[in-house]
Structures are given as C-alpha cells and as structure tokens.
Chain A
Amino acid sequence: MNRDLLRSLVYDMLLARTFEERAAQEYANGRISGFLHLYPGEEAVAVGVLHAAEPADYVVSTYREHVHALARGISARQIMAELFGKKDGVSGGMGGSMHIFDGTRRFMGGYAIVGETFPIALGVGYAIAYRGLPEAVICFFGDGAVNQGTFHESLNMAALWRIPILFVCENNHYQIGTEIHRHSAVADIHKRACGYAIPAEKIDGMDVLAVYEAARRALDAIRNEGGPRFLEFETYRFRGHSMADPGAYRPAAELQAYLHDDPVDSVIRAAETADPTPGKQAPIRAQGSPPSPFRGPAWESLTAPDIESLRAEAAAVVDDAVRFAEASPAPTMEDAWHAFRRNRMPDGPSAP
C-alpha cells in the first residue's frame, strides 16, 4: 500500500465526517437553511471511488453530495459557503447544498430530482466516447433511484453505445423512510444491471479500501475494454434522510449494528494495524471479493500520532471553512441576474 494514498484516504474520511457533523451543527444554529442531506456512514463510497478516479474523469452526483465534492478536491471553504448561501460558495450561492457545481474539477453537479444523474452522465459520457478520449464519468445514485425510468433508459443506452460510465450505487437501504424490500422487487441492485449486459459487482461500502480497489478495477476495465461498469456499494446512513428526518422508522438494533461498522473507525483501525489481514469482522460483508493488494507485506501502516495529526488538520480545515462562510457576503439580486445571464447571447432577453 502506498503510504501517501492511505494517508489521503484516512484524511478524506476524517474530513468528510468532521465537515458533515459541523454542517449539522450549523443547521441547528440556524446558519444553514433549507434541505440538508448528510453523509455520515457512507463516507467510504465517495472517498474510495473518487480516489480511484483520474482528474480528467467527470463526476455527476446527487443531492447528498458534499462529500463527493470534498473528495473531488473542491475546498471545504467553497462548499461550506455554498451551504450558507453565500457569494463565495462554489455555485455563487445560487445552488445551495443540493446543487454543487465546479466545472474546473469536472464536478458536473449535484442533482436534486432522484434519477437525474443517469441521463446527465450518459450525455457527458457520449461526448467522451464521440471524441475517443480515455476518460470516464462517475455516476452516483442511491438505491431509491433505481426504480426511476431514467435508470433503465440510460443503462440501456450506455450499454448499447458502450459509453464509459462507472455507475456507483450507494445502497443505504432506504429511499427516505421506505426500506429497500418495500420499494424493490429485486433488492440485489447490481443484478438489475444484468438486464442491460453491464458487468456488475456488489461490494462492502463500509470498507474504503475495498471500495477503492473495486472502483480502480472497474475504471481500468472501462478504459481498457470500453463500455460501462456497475458497482453496488452496501452502506448505511447514520442520520435521517435530511435534517428534517429523525429516522425513527429504522430498528434501533439495525442502526447499532451499522454504527459498530463505522467506516471511519474501520479505516483508522486498519491503517494503524501493522498487518491488517484479514481485516475487520463486520456484521455484513460482501461475499466473494477477491484478495486485496492492500493486505500483506506491501502494507505500510500509519501511527497513532499520524492519525491524530490528520484528525487535527481536518478539524482546522472545517473551522476555517465555517469562518470563511460566515465572513463571505450575501449575494445580491444583481449577482443572481448575472448568474442567469452570463452565458446568454448578446441579443438575449433583458430583465423585466
């Protein structure tokens, strides 16, 4: 294991957790308004997948996308300022928590209507395939999205024209409050990709090392063999669907079991272990995963002081992001019209 990569994975996991818990506090403090969908519990998916991606790859994400944005390298400052609705937010305060866009990092947006990421990824991937570039699109979605028509329509076209998309299902088992066996006739989501002849795997989404390896393999296959790939990551959100949801529909024992499988704690335990084989004993674990190149003699562990320094750095970055967001000015209506018009033709419509 490359030590820098391990350090980066651990740091991003810590930053993700710290950022989201702080966002929850700021929501409670009244400094963040509107819908706020947080990611604790699911960090391993975004962090693992996006570490496996190249800078030239595109990312299309959902309304639960703060951590995708962080893992893509967008600054905590710009993301927090967007959550605050401020002018220095990554979308200028016009998007908000659910609509983070950063063209410079090929972060093609957070989309707030379930199922929209499929056709957007399809179009971005179409452009890549038409131009014959060695790039790919990472398309995030949850288990709730797989019953939208766009899932089936877009998987069909992606397979038909061999579009370079990595479909990443964040299966947290709930579409808001409806558990997967109550919303899906086939709850093994990766099996649905078989209907479109897209190679698919189910992976433990609580293990960032397993996520990273699986995404790396899938992206290599996309670049070497062409066509889409599909990964289902089994994960869990520790909080409700949004800040408005206490999550009371979930059995306490279920939540407790997953909390024992906390992906941030797990990666720290693994990183501190000289030889982490055979890894943690998780209550749920994908079967049949191939042996990991992370395990074994090449492993370079981190020390406890290493971890503490990463934890302190993440805390400092989040504190700084909140101060930055607070200090940033509110956007004006003029800024809103500017955002609305800046791409318009010179003869375009004028304000009323």
Chain B
Amino acid sequence: MNGPVFYWQALNRALDAEMALDDDIITLGEDVGLFGGTYRVTEGLMAKYGEWRVRDTPISENSFVGLGVGAALAGLRPIVEIMTVNFALLAMDAIVNIAAKVPFMSGGQFALPLTIRMPGGVARQLGAQHSQRLEQMFMNVPGLRIVVPSTPQDAYWQVRQAVRSDDPVIILEHERLYFSKGPLDEEAAPPPPHQAAVRRQGTDVTIIAWSRMTEVALAAAELLKADHIDAEIIDLRSLLPIDWAICQASVEKTHHGLIVDESSRFAGAGAEIVATLHERCFFSLDAPIARVAGLDIPVPFNGALEAASIPTEEGVADAVRHLMARS
C-alpha cells in the first residue's frame, strides 16, 4: 500500500503502467501531450512515449473520437481523452452510432478496445455548459460500458481494466475529485470493474451513490448517527452494467433505499435504479425507494445557487429521516 495520492496521479500512473506494457496503447485528445492534460492526467507521458503514442489533437471531438474507433478496429488500444463530458456531445455520433454498434453490426467480427476518458460533474462555478454529468445519455446505449470511479484506488484500477477490455469503455471522472487524496495499492488484485463496493456497513437504510456523490452519502451517514440511523453506503463504481446483486442484497437487509444522483432528477440514472430495485425488492421494502438528485434546471453560475442545485449531505440526511418516518 502506497500513498496517499491524488486522484489525477492515480489516473496518470495507471496510463503509464499500461502504456509501458503494450505498444498498441496510444492516447490522444486536446492538450494531452505537451500541456500534459488540463487536469494533469497525462503529465509526462509524451516525453516518455513520444508524439505518435501521445497525440495532441485539434478541437474536433467527433473526428478524434472516431479516429479512436478506427484505430481500435485496426488493432490499437486507444485511450481518448475528451476534455470535459460536455464536449462529448459533439462526439455522440462516434460514441453512440459507431463505437457502440460496430462490434454488433459486424456480426461480432470486430472487438473494439477503446477507452474514452472524460471529466464531468458540477465543479465550482463553471456555468451551465460546464456543469453536467450526462451519464444517463450513455446508459441507454447498449454496447457501451461506463465506469465512475470515486477513489484514487478505483481510478487506477478501473482505467487499467478499461484499457485491457475489448469493449468500448467510458470513464466518467469528476472534476471535484481530481485533487482529492486517497491510498493507492498498485499490487493488490482489483475487483471486477463493474462490481459495486459497500463503503460503509449499516443496518437501517441503503444509500446508493457513485462518483463524487459517494462522499456526500458517507458524510450524510455521519450526520444520521445522531438520529440513531445506521446507513449502509453502496458505491456503484459502474453504471453500465450495474451490480444489481449487491444493491438487492443490501436493500433486502435494510428494507429502505435512497439513491443520490448528481444529475437532474427527471429520467436520470436514479430513475433506472429505483425502477429496477422496486421490481426486484418490492416485497422487502418498508417504504418506496426515494431519490435525492440535481434539480431539473441548468446549473446556475451563482455559487450559493449552484450548491443548492445538487445533492448535499444535509439534504441526503433529511431525505433519509423523511424516508424512515414513513415506515
């Protein structure tokens, strides 16, 4: 066990470790080379691996993501960085129409070992166009995998697993996690990339979160101790597929569930999780599973309004108290 390290450092070490092992791995994106990545994730890689393996691209998202698909079809294992998830909207054709579908449309002839990294989430006063998650848009696309690491340890291993995967994998990083610190064990065998993690054991209520909302949920659990409510926190780690078995076992134990979703509530990831868990655990529940989510409004620029538009630890704790009072 080493560390603690920053989340961005864990990502950087993962890229370095994989690129050192396999010449077929290349990385490309805006400012990933000389500049070292806007969040430092690709720092030092161009000096070590050269321009053909660490390629600065023009501002052409749809075509450089499509380049990644074509290179993967020809046998490379590209890692494409999209500077933020918001710019991925310009590359939706390459991601949704091409990457997700070619392995299937070809009758299974082609593997597609493509990794697409992108940060997202509500950071600090970046305005509505730079404060989205959008995971729900990708979740509705069969053929993709989506991982959402919340710790340096997961960031490190989920990147390495994504690079070794023969499927297109989207890694949704979070802008407010890059400079968070945590331990990093580069030796221990990691769990499967889609396996959820129980971050806190509890008996009374299951709180399901992912990415930065995991720390919000953990903080809420501390607040709830004063109410003698013992919360179990599940970090999904993967949104496509979702590890239903761990979620179901927990809800059947606690009889209460709450989802924390940073994105807007309507038709968000939380809606899918609530629906599926109701189908699976209905008769174990003492109350309907609830959601705490972003408001259905573009994220305001003003700092106080911005904070009020996404889930907070107090908001999550209040929602849990309300949920427990209903049963």
Contacts and interface: CB of A to CB of B under 8 A. Distances in A.
User: Counting chain B CB atoms within 10 Å of each CB, which of A60, A124, A341 scores highest?
Assistant: A124
A120 B69 contact: yes
Interface string A83-99: 00000011111110001
A343 B111 CA distance: 5
Interface residues on A, range: 35 or more
Contacts of B102: 101, 109
A119 B105 contact: no
B58 A160 contact: yes
Contact of A94 (B66, B105, B194): B105
A156 B124 CA distance: 35
Given A130-B26, A343-B167, A123 B108 contact: no
A134 interface: no
Nearest to B98: A116
Contact of B110 (A60, A126, A343, A345): A343
A340 B93 contact: no
Contact of A348 (B62, B73, B142, B167): B167
B67 interface: yes
Contacts of B194: 347-349
Contacts of B57: 157
Interface in A157-177: 157, 160-161
Interface residues of B, number: 49
Given A113-B93, A157-B57, A349-B240, A126 B166 contact: no
A92 B76 CA distance: 25
B275 interface: no
A49 to B, nearest CB: 19
Interface of A: 58, 60, 89-95, 99, 101-103, 108-109, 111, 113, 116, 118-130, 149-150, 153-154, 156-157, 160-161, 338-345, 347-350
Given A123-B66, A157-B64, 9 more contacts: A94-B107, A95-B107, A119-B63, A119-B69, A124-B73, A127-B74, A342-B108, A345-B166, A349-B145
29 contacts: A92-B107, A92-B108, A94-B104, A101-B102, A101-B109, A109-B102, A109-B105, A109-B106, A119-B69, A120-B66, A120-B69, A123-B67, A124-B71, A126-B76, A127-B71, A127-B74, A149-B60, A149-B62, A156-B60, A157-B57, A157-B67, A339-B103, A343-B103, A343-B111, A348-B194, A348-B241, A349-B194, A349-B240, A350-B241
Interface of B: 26, 52-53, 55, 57-58, 60, 62-76, 78, 93-94, 97-98, 102-112, 142-143, 145, 165-167, 192-194, 240-241
